[in-house]
Amino acid sequence: MSLRHVIPPYLLDAIAERGGEKFPRAARAARSCQVSDESCRNLRAEGLRYTPVATPDGGAQDSEAAMHSQVTGASAGVNRLIHDAQGTETLPGSLVRSEGEDAVSDEAVNEAYDGLGASYSLFAEAFERNSLDGKGMPLIASVHYGQDYDNAFFDGRLMVFGDGDDEVFTGFTGSLSIIGHELSHGVISHTADLEYLGQPGALNEHCADVFGALTEQHDSGQEAGDATWLIGAGIFTPEVTGQALRSMLAPGTAYDDDVLGKDPQPDHMDRYVTTDSDNGGVHLNSGIPNRAFALAATRLGGQAWETVGQVWYSVLTGDDITTRTDFAGFAALTIAEAVAQFGEGSDVHDALVQSWDAVGVTRGAGRGNVGSSW
């Protein structure tokens, strides 16, 4: 899989271009982050998945191999390895906490450890999946990456967290929905592997948001009607006028700030964004299926991972989805899966039909746009 950053490029662009007076440190950090992220994308263009490194000759290992050499008995359950990059961009850094070890004095290390565990628990307990690859893949993370690094990403091997710039962004280990989102990209890459472009790419981001939100809800035993449906709540400092990176239930309302601008996510196919940037608007147009999922979940009530979450996971891991499935195709698969699991005319089936209809994917003028954007 290619690199997936949680902060979309258009947000970094806004901070770099308009933040100089109010957020000078953040503006410098955004410009630095843009260069760093582009470098990372180029280095990992072919994508990576976890593969244990064998060294039968006992020879020296590079840093990646050394990281993998820590992994033993992963299939027995969750296996977390947290590293400290110590302000550098050399990964993974020094191993500072392993599975089963007590909490340490570094809050970011402990937040990463707990967040990885919460994501593992969602997939294990709700969907009977053994880690990201279904085969006990270890969950590896690095904290304190770079200087004022305004992002977090999963590169197929490990989860990487920046500390933020303290003007716009706080540390990225503090958001459970972000951790769940980024690790879910690993599940997606080992299942449907949706192409990161246009509508399939927006579905890739959407599914990561779904399981990011469910990670947070599952960890607290929260019902759909009580959930915020926010991705990245608390990631902004108090100086920013905004509550999160995205709102699944109300796309376009997560922030409205003088420097960052207004949340540009559409909530309906009538407002679908056609663009060449951001891989065809993958972080933008994901708002449309996000709202469909959140509407269905809140209409049904109860714990979302037991209803619509089951439908989404089955579609994502099923045989009918392809790397280039678009919104209309995905909606049809979820509706068919709802019938298969819960019955035609069931509450789940009806909720999905109504929700996809409400965001314009399965009716009206918006339907003519589906599948034509990439």
Active site residues per annotation? 182, 283
3-state secondary structure of 143: strand
Q: How many angstroms from the chain centroid is the CA of residue 149?
A: 18
Radius of gyration of the chain (CA): 20
Count other Cβ atoms within 10 Å, centred on residue 215. 27
Contact 210, 309 (CB under 8 A): yes
Q: For Cα atoms 326, 331, 333, give the angle at the middle one, nearest 5 degrees.
A: 95
How far apart (Å, rounded) are the C-alpha atoms in residues 332 and 337? 9
- DSSP state letters, 177-204: HHHHHHHHHHHHHTTT---SSHHHHHHH
How far apart (Å, rounded) are the C-alpha atoms in residues 97 and 217? 26
| Cis peptide, bond prior to residue 92, ω within 30 of zero | yes
3-state secondary structure of 346: coil
Return left, alpha or beta for 253; rule: phi > 0 is left, psi -120 to 50 is alpha, else beta: alpha
User: In the structure encoding, which two tokens stand for residue 163, read together?
Assistant: 């500390």
- DSSP state letters, 243-288: S-SEESSSTT-SBEETTTEE----SSGGGPPP-SSHHHHHHHHTHH
